[in-house]
């Protein structure tokens, strides 16, 4: 395994911090905290650089709030200057770790995403059913309380196999220790990156130890496709043992089950059947709620248009044509 030393100077360089600031402000240029930071951007970046260079940098406490959209989640928001540091870390470390990730780890990676996961699912579905001519099954699994249960010590051990730079490890510890003893905050860029690093251990085990051919993971959800139902019981036991012994994680007992394709497989926002796919009800209700907010004057037309554009590009992959048209017509202009 290739290892990397002396990365810290790259991470904290003014050139990298300037790039990180541009990434951190994307889509947020009108926010008061961005405007305040950029009033004296050269000075603020120099101060941040000096703190990092002298290893006296300390992130500010996270701002925590509850988001119901529609699922209730606790979001922990970092200060803007800390988000710059998160981007600076990811700019340098992501390309290093991404090389070792499997193709079908689809979340929070450049050139990947939900649509790639969906396309791979369709391709695997056709192969495992021999173009829908044979019965097949899916093991749909979810890791219980994933972001809350990540062990910092295990994560650092995984990172240190590749990263042999003490100052870089120190900086990562500053980010991790700003939350709690274990777990990672939802809302941080580094949390998304570290989540992939952590579960890459599972990906490697499933693909190269168990030799599972049709496997896709999106954050803490994963699917395995196979034509023999009995095989899943063997794989499930092996996966449960691996998660418990190596990552201190568990499969969600209610959300991990073997399903026949005829019943439809819920994955990346769609219910996938043999010959068609439909949007999940939660996805539809979420869009309807945004439209209702606009109709009540609580969000602007520009905001709704931005949301609907993204949602429409995503939903067009389903067979819910009439439903999408109905939602569009419900917008009151």
List pLDDT tens digits, range 235-272: 999 999 999 999 999 999 999 999 998 888 888 888 88
CA dihedral defined by 226, 228, 234, 240, rounded to 10 degrees? 40
The larger pLDDT score, comparing residue 280 to residue 11, is at 11
Is residue 69 very low, low, confident or very high in pLDDT (cuts 50, 70, 90)? low
Q: Terminus-to-terminus CA distance in the chain, angstroms?
A: 59
Entry pTM? 0.88
Pairwise pLDDT comparison (330 vs 213), residue with the higher score = 213
Give the pairing of strands 137-142 and 72-77.
unpaired
Q: What pLDDT score does 246 carry?
A: 98
When pLDDT is averaged across residues 20-36 and rounded to a whole number, the result is 93
Question: Is 272 within 8 Å of 121 (Cβ atoms)?
Answer: yes
Q: Which DSSP state fits 256?
A: -
Q: What pLDDT score was predicted for residue 234? A: 95
| CA 73 – CA 248 distance, rounded (Å) | 22
Residue 225 has pLDDT above 80, yes or no: yes
Q: 189 pLDDT exceeds 70?
A: yes
How much is the pLDDT for 311? 81
- 32 against 275, higher pLDDT: 32
For residues 219-243, average pLDDT: 96
Instruction: Tell me the average pLDDT of the chain.
Output: 91
pLDDT score recorded for residue 222: 97
SS3 of residue 216 by DSSP: strand
CA atoms within 13 A on the CB side of 83: 20
29 is written with which tokens?
């240029």
Instruction: Look at residues 222, 231, 230, 226 and name the one whose alpha carbon lies nearest to residue 251.
Output: 222
**Around Cβ 266, how many Cβ atoms within 10 Å?**
19
**Alpha carbon 65 to chain centroid distance?**
19
Cα distances from 167 to residues 8, 12, 62, 181, 207, in angstroms, run 6, 10, 23, 21, 33
The C-alpha atoms of residue 152 and residue 180 are separated, in whole angstroms, by 9
pLDDT number for residue 232: 95
Q: Vertex 159, ends 104 and 80: CA angle to 5°?
A: 90
Percent of the chain exceeding pLDDT 70 equals 98
Task: Look at residue 73 and tell me whether its pLDDT is greater than 90.
Answer: no
Average pLDDT on 185-211 reads 95
Band the pLDDT of 75: cuts 50, 70, 90. Answer: confident
pLDDT at 108: 92
- Mean of the pLDDT values across residues 169-173? 97
> Would you state the structure tokens that stand for residue 140, as one six-digit string?
């749909």
**Maximum separation of any 2 CA atoms in the chain, in Å:** 66
3-state secondary structure of 188: coil
**Residues 224 and 139 sit within 8 Å (Cβ to Cβ):** yes
Check residue 286 and give its pLDDT: 84
What integer is the mean pLDDT of 210-221? 96
Tokens 């196979």 correspond to what residue?
226
92 to each of 85, 190, 281, how far by Cα in Å?
Answer: 11, 12, 39
Q: Decide if pLDDT at 38 tops 80.
A: yes
φ, ψ (nearest 5 deg) of residue 173:
-65, -35
pLDDT tier for residue 70 given thresholds of 50, 70 and 90: low
Cis peptide before 70 (omega within 30 of 0): yes
**290 closest CA partner among 280, 305, 270:** 305
Looking at per-residue pLDDT, the higher value among 230 and 330 belongs to 230
Q: Which residues of 161-188 are buried (b: 16+ CB within 10 A; e: fewer)?
A: ebbebebbeebbeebbebbeeebbbbbb
Name which of 163-172, 216-225, 250-259, 303-312 the model is least confident about.
303-312
What pLDDT digit, counting tens, does each position of 103-142 carry?
999 999 999 998 899 999 999 999 999 998 888 999 999 9
Distance CA 309, CA 303 (A): 10
Amino acid 261: pLDDT: 85
Neighbour tally for 68: CB within 10 Å: 8
């Amino acid at each position: 395994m290739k290892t990397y030393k002396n990365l810290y100077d790259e991470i904290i360089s003014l050139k990298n911090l300037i790039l990180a600031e541009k990434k951190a402000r994307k889509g947020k240029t009108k926010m008061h905290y961005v405007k305040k930071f950029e009033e004296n951007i050269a000075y603020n970046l120099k101060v941040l650089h000096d703190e990092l260079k002298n290893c006296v940098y300390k992130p500010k406490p996270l701002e925590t709030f509850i988001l119901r959209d529609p699922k209730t989640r606790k979001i922990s928001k970092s200060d803007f200057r800390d988000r710059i540091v998160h981007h600076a870390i990811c700019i340098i470390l992501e390309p290093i770790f991404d090389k070792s990730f499997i193709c079908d780890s689809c979340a929070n990676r450049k050139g990947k995403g939900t649509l790639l996961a969906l396309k791979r699912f369709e391709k695997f579905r056709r192969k495992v059913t021999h173009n829908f001519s044979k019965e097949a099954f899916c093991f749909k699994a979810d890791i219980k309380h994933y972001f809350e249960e990540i062990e910092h010590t295990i994560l650092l051990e995984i990172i240190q196999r590749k990263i042999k730079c003490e100052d870089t490890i120190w900086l990562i510890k500053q980010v991790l220790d700003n939350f709690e003893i274990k777990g990672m905050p939802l809302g941080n860029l580094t949390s998304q990156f570290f989540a992939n690093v952590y579960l890459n251990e599972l990906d490697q085990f499933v693909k190269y130890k168990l030799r599972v051919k049709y496997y896709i993971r999106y954050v803490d959800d994963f699917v395995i496709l196979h034509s023999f139902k009995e095989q899943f019981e063997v794989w499930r036991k092996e996966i449960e043992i691996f998660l418990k012994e190596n990552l201190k994680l568990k499969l969600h007992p209610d959300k991990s089950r073997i399903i026949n394709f005829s019943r439809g497989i819920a994955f990346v926002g769609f219910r996938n059947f043999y010959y068609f796919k439909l949007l999940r009800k939660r996805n539809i209700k979420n869009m309807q709620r945004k439209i209702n907010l606009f109709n009540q004057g609580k969000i602007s037309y520009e905001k709704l248009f931005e949301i609907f554009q993204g949602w429409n590009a995503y939903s067009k992959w389903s067979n819910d044509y009439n439903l999408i048209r109905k939602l569009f017509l419900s917008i009151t202009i």
